[in-house]
A and B are shown apart, each in its own frame.
Chain A
């Protein structure tokens, strides 16, 4: 039965997340934008405390998306400081054994704040994740990792906070291509892993984006996620790589939800500013009768809605155990681009109010752009959608 009404519990969750974002994120939003590498420690403790109460216990489902939209309405950068298993945890869930899930995530909620990061991108490869050069060499009961990872989201927190973890993608056999690509769990504080640099970014400045260096970093043999074997013959058996891609099916619509929050913040800002001026949007009129401003705003609202429904559908399908690779990429491609345009248009409409750092709107435009880039750029997601709708392999459509 087609239904668009969140359950009463979900409605409560939305309210709680919204209140959290409004009361705790918005007041400090500008501060952490302007003091890029300051750590919002007090807020993090509060977030960690709230996790156990539920407001910030975020999974990868429809409920999580509804909450995340609200939190990112508050501040997308601060949302990305929320402690939790995160992308690293998602990778462990997607490719780890039961024992590994228990070992790495079993007591994740106990003690102090923890993070789980995913280290994939390197300076020489972004979208082409199968071209990574970081190596993992077996040495008895250990793997030895060497290489450098960039753009690791919450990488510093995950690498340095006790009991946090970083999932690192490395090749065990370069000649095997994709089949040689495996993921490894590196616990925080492991000797040989260090934070080399923190990036300075256009937006989401509250979130740390780190370069991690692995210099003869030794981890136990059992920290490999999935099988250590390299199967070269059967192309369909490139499980490590597939594990990474399966993770994306879950995380891409979540990024969609983050994007939506930022887009809605901008939409709300414009709507409220216009209302103050006594301008009301007249829905239900023919296009010929609308002002250019009304047309713009209605187009922004429609695009926000389109992205939101695609996002919720992708996550709903996952909850129904339906394959959602196509729908995930549809949601991410649409949401990333939609909010990029919505926020840019909002700044245009608001003129000097939009451009001024007195208001948060210009920050949201800077924050929004990342959603069209990380977890697969808009173009990569279009490529995936295209391959899916054409039923083409990666060789047929490069």
Chain B
């Protein structure tokens, strides 16, 4: 039966995450953007909410809840509303945990999932994006060649969050003509982590380029083992996760510019009393809601284990455009003030532009 109401449990999670985003993230997001640092204490507080562990099985150290892409989308929106860089940092372990949970072999799940369900936050990450403008996730330049009992990885990656501190990396490479994931442990020979990257936005999040030079991983470290994981599904989960985060960023910008427009007086009345401003806000509100509903629909299909390639790519493209439209207008509504770093809207615009690039950097 068609329904648009999250379950009671989901509503409780949303309330909890909303409060965290408001009380913790919103207090320090500007500092994080300026300094490029996210305090461990915030990440630790977030980890205590159990956002990842709650959907992991008990035998792997989790709380045994059911994993749900819809719940993931709800969480992603709220955290990104707080701050996108922090949201990506906090949820970084999920980039490895969720694909392992769904597609890992028993041995892989047993060996690695408990590391991602510990009492303390432990960084784990994945590397998909490559440093070319027309890189193609379906035909990666990074290669994995079978050699005896190993795979040998070669290539370059970029925008790998927390690569320097991560204990586990899920690296995507082309093998047998398709993209597959390989679990690489910290310090593996031939894995070289580059300098920290400087990006236009999400500056609080430490991202790195990395180089693989004849990096050997055992055969059993291919995600999913002999069967190999379903890469398209991983990509779809990522697109849904990113769409949800785009909604969070857009909602933050919408709310801020709406409140500003009601306060700011020009020619004797609040600028929100002018249709030129009010209609911008109306369209922002409509597109945010529309994107959310499309994201939920794609997540719902993911939870039913259906092929969601069409829905996920439609909503991701839509969300990329939506978050740009909304954050750009938020800056526009604030005018000159929007351009000044005392207000957050310029930060949201910089973060918003990244979504078209952030493939694989979120997961539901």
Contact = CB atoms under 8 A, between A and B. Distances in A.
A298 B320 CA distance: 13
Contacts, number: 142
A138 B290 CA distance: 48
A386 B211 CA distance: 50
Interface stretch (B109-117, B132-140, B156-164, B181-189): B132-140
A302 B232 contact: no
A321 interface: no
Contacts of B287: 306
Interface string A273-298: 00000000001111111000000001
Contacts of A307: 290
A320 B5 CA distance: 10
Given A5-B1, A390-B278, A283 B286 contact: no
B290 A389 contact: no
B294 interface: yes
Contacts of A302: 294, 314-315, 317-318
Interface in A296-318: 298-299, 301-303, 305-307, 309-310, 312-313, 316-317
Given A2-B3, A284-B232, A306 B294 contact: yes
B286 A397 contact: no
A298 B313 CA distance: 9
B317 A310 contact: no
B310 interface: yes
A1 interface: yes
B332 interface: no
Contact of A309 (B1, B290, B310, B359): B290
A31 to B, nearest CB: 36
A5 B304 CA distance: 11
A3 interface: yes
Interface in A127-171: none
A80 to B, nearest CB: 25
A316 B5 CA distance: 10
Interface string A1-16: 1111111001000000
Given A1-B5, A389-B281, A299 B317 contact: yes
Interface in B128-149: 133-134, 136-138
A385 B258 CA distance: 13
Nearest to B261: A390
B279 A382 contact: yes
A221 interface: no
Contacts of A206: none
Contact of B258 (A305, A320, A390): A390
Contact of A5 (B2, B270, B310): B2
Interface string A364-398: 00000000000000000011011101101000111
A382 B221 CA distance: 54
Interface residues of A, number: 46
Interface size bracket, B side:
35 or more
B343 interface: no
B282 A283 contact: no
Interface in B262-298: 262, 270, 272-273, 275, 278-279, 281-283, 285-287, 289-291, 293-294, 296-297
Interface string B90-103: 00000000000000
Contact of B136 (A286, A320, A385): A286
B5 A2 contact: yes
Name the prevailing secondary structure of the A interface residues.
helix
A92 interface: no
A284 B3 contact: no
Contacts of B136: 285-286, 289
A186 interface: no
A334 interface: yes
A306 B286 CA distance: 9
A381 B270 CA distance: 21
A58 B335 CA distance: 48
A105 B278 CA distance: 41
Nearest to A316: B4
A4 B297 contact: yes
A250 interface: no
B137 A330 contact: no
B300 interface: yes
Contact of A390 (B272, B286, B311): B272
Contacts of B289: 310, 313, 327, 330
Highest count of chain B CB atoms <10 Å: which of A313, A317, A327: A313
Contacts of A287: 317, 320, 356
B317 A313 contact: no
Given A6-B2, A302-B314, A288 B133 contact: yes
Nearest to B290: A306
A373 B252 CA distance: 32
Nearest to B262: A390
B87 to A, nearest CB: 21
Contacts of B300: 2-4
Nearest to A8: B1
Contact of B235 (A284, A298, A303): A284
B293 A310 contact: yes
A230 interface: no
A72 interface: no
Nearest to A305: B294
A361 interface: no
A78 interface: no
A333 interface: yes
A56 B147 CA distance: 66
Contacts of A320: 5
Nearest to A384: B282
Given A298-B314, A301-B314, A310 B286 contact: yes
Given A286-B359, A287-B317, A289-B134, A385 B285 contact: yes
Nearest to B322: A306
Interface of B: 1-7, 10, 70, 133-134, 136-138, 232, 235-236, 258, 261-262, 270, 272-273, 275, 278-279, 281-283, 285-287, 289-291, 293-294, 296-297, 300-301, 309-315, 317-318, 320, 356, 359
23 contacts: A3-B2, A283-B313, A284-B312, A285-B313, A287-B356, A289-B134, A302-B315, A302-B318, A306-B293, A306-B294, A309-B290, A309-B293, A310-B289, A313-B293, A316-B2, A316-B3, A382-B279, A382-B282, A385-B285, A389-B281, A390-B258, A396-B270, A396-B273
Q: Which 9 A-B pairs have the closest CB atoms?
A: A306-B290, A309-B293, A386-B278, A386-B282, A385-B282, A302-B318, A302-B314, A283-B310, A284-B309
Interface of A: 1-7, 10, 62, 283-289, 298-299, 301-303, 305-307, 309-310, 312-313, 316-317, 320, 327, 330, 333-334, 382-383, 385-387, 389-390, 392, 396-398
Given A302-B315, A383-B279, 11 more contacts: A1-B6, A62-B2, A284-B313, A302-B314, A310-B289, A316-B3, A382-B279, A386-B278, A386-B279, A386-B282, A390-B262
